[in-house]
Every structure is written in C-alpha cells, then in structure tokens.
C-alpha cells in the first residue's frame, strides 16, 4: 500500500527591507520595471541623466549671474525686435515658446492615435510636431544671428556682463541640439508609421513587435522633456 504523497506549502525568501530592498528591486527587476518595456525604461533613465546635465548648466548660470559685479543685460532690451519703428521686447521668444508648447499637444495626439493604430493620423501629427520643432530651431538660429551681429560673443558682451554670452550660447545651443535630434527622430519614426512598418513588422531600426506603436510614445517622452526644459530656460534667461 502506497502512502499518499504529502505536499508542503512553498515558501519564499522574505524580501530585504530598506536600502537593500531598494537595490534588490532595481538590480533584479522584481518590481521596478515589471510592466514596463526596456525601451521605455531606458528612455526614462536617459531623461533623468539629462535632467542632471541641464540642472548643472542652469545652476552654473545662476552662479555666474549672481557673482558677477558687472551689470547683467536687460532681457527686454537684448531680445527685443525692431518692428514698425519700435522695439518690441521678447516678441520672438514668445512666438518660439508658443510654437514649442503647441508641439507637445500634437505629440500627445500622435501617441493617442498610435495606440489606436491609426497610421495616417499618427504620421501626420508626428510630422506636424517635427515642423513645429524645425520652426523653433529656425527662429533660434535667427536669434543667434541677431545677437552675433550685435557683438555678443561667448567671451564678450556689449550689453553688460561677459558671462552672458557664454552661458546663453552654451545652454540654448545644447537645448537646440536636443530639439534638432528630436526633429530628425520624429521624421524617421513618422516615415516608418506611414509605411506600415509596425503593422507588417518590417525589419529595420526601431521596428517593434507587430502592431506595437510603443516607439511613438517613447519619442513623445523625449519630446515632452525637451519642451519642459525650455520652460525653465525661458524663465531663467528671458524673465529673470
């Protein structure tokens, strides 16, 4: 006569608490990225690191501005445009900010239609977002040209403190580079969406699983970050 097999309840090791538990969750992917794809997780990590970079740049700007003994240029005068015989302060910057903030709306709609698998609307909205971004970069190039023609250089500034030129060109140039990269990436992904690469699972760069438009959302995360950073740059350089 055979004895019935006895089953014992399975036991699991307790999770460590405190900092050890935090390190364990992130190291073994137990909880932190349980329902998040690696593409999205890596984009968040990249944006976090980029936040530190922009934060250091803005802190350096604040330090330079508050430590200099030479008067800092007045933004209303430096960034004014001569229109109709009068100097209109910050008009170009206001338009640039409106264009870039509007692009966040078109990008959000593109992500929405992407998850609905509406290829045509997703591609059009992404291209419209890229157009807004290219317009912003074009206006920024005009602004740089104007300041350079007026004598502003990274090492000198006829309007006041010499540090203004170096911090302005460094920070706005770094942000403009981000916008330019975003525009290129938007065009690439919009082309793949329009061709139906995410429906046919055509092999190539950035092609995900069939019917999965997550790359559109990942692109949107980057673009919203670029827009958010501009809000801080706008406040520090043009309103302070």
Which phi and psi (to 5°) does residue 68 adopt? -75, 145
Q: What secondary structure letter does DSSP report for 187?
A: H
Q: Is the pLDDT assigned to residue 108 strictly greater than 70?
A: yes
pLDDT of residue 3: 47
pLDDT of residue 158: 87
**What's the full length of the chain, in residues?**
240
Contact 74, 60 (CB under 8 A): no
pLDDT of residue 15: 66
Q: What is the mean pLDDT of residues 175-188?
A: 96
How far apart CA 142 and CA 94 sit, in angstroms, is: 14
Residue extents of the structural domains in the chain:
36-73+82-239
Give pLDDT tens digits for 28-59.
555 555 666 777 888 999 999 999 999 999 99
Give pLDDT tens digits for 194-240.
888 777 766 656 555 555 678 899 999 999 999 999 999 999 988 88
Output the CA torsion 52→240→93→167 (10° steps): -50
Instruction: Identify the helix (H) or strand (E) that includes residue 184.
Output: helix 163-195
Contact 192, 206 (CB under 8 A): yes
Q: Position of tokens 């055509």? A: 202
By 3-state DSSP, what share of the chain in percent is helix, strand and coil, each rounded to 5? 70, 5, 30
Per mean pLDDT, which range of 10-14, 58-62, 126-130 is the poorest?
10-14
**Burial letters for 34-68: b for 16+ Cβ neighbours within 10 Å, e otherwise?**
eeebeeeeebeeebeebeeebeebbeebeebbeee
Fold of 36-73+82-239: 1.20.120
């Amino acid at each position: 006569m055979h004895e019935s097999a006895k089953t014992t309840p399975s036991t699991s090791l307790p999770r460590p608490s405190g900092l050890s538990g935090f390190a364990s969750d992130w190291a073994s992917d137990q909880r932190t990225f349980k329902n998040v794809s690696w593409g999205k997780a890596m984009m968040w990590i990249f944006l976090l690191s980029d936040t530190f970079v922009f934060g250091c740049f803005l802190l350096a700007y604040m330090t330079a501005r508050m430590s200099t003994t030479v008067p800092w240029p007045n933004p209303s005068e430096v960034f004014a445009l001569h229109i109709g015989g009068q100097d209109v302060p910050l008009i170009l910057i206001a338009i640039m900010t409106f264009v870039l903030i509007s692009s966040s709306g078109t990008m959000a709609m593109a992500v929405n239609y992407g998850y609905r698998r509406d290829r045509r609307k997703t591609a059009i909205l992404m291209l419209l977002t890229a157009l807004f971004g290219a317009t912003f970069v074009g206006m920024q190039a005009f602004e740089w040209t104007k300041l350079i023609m007026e004598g502003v250089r990274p090492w000198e500034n006829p309007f006041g403190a010499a540090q203004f030129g170096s911090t302005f060109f460094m920070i706005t140039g770094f942000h403009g580079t981000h916008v330019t990269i975003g525009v290129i990436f938007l065009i690439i992904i919009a082309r793949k969406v329009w061709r139906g690469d995410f429906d046919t699972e055509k092999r190539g760069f950035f092609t995900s699983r069939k019917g999965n438009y997550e790359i559109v959302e990942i692109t949107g995360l980057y673009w919203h970050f670029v827009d958010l950073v501009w809000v801080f740059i706008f406040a520090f350089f043009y309103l302070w």
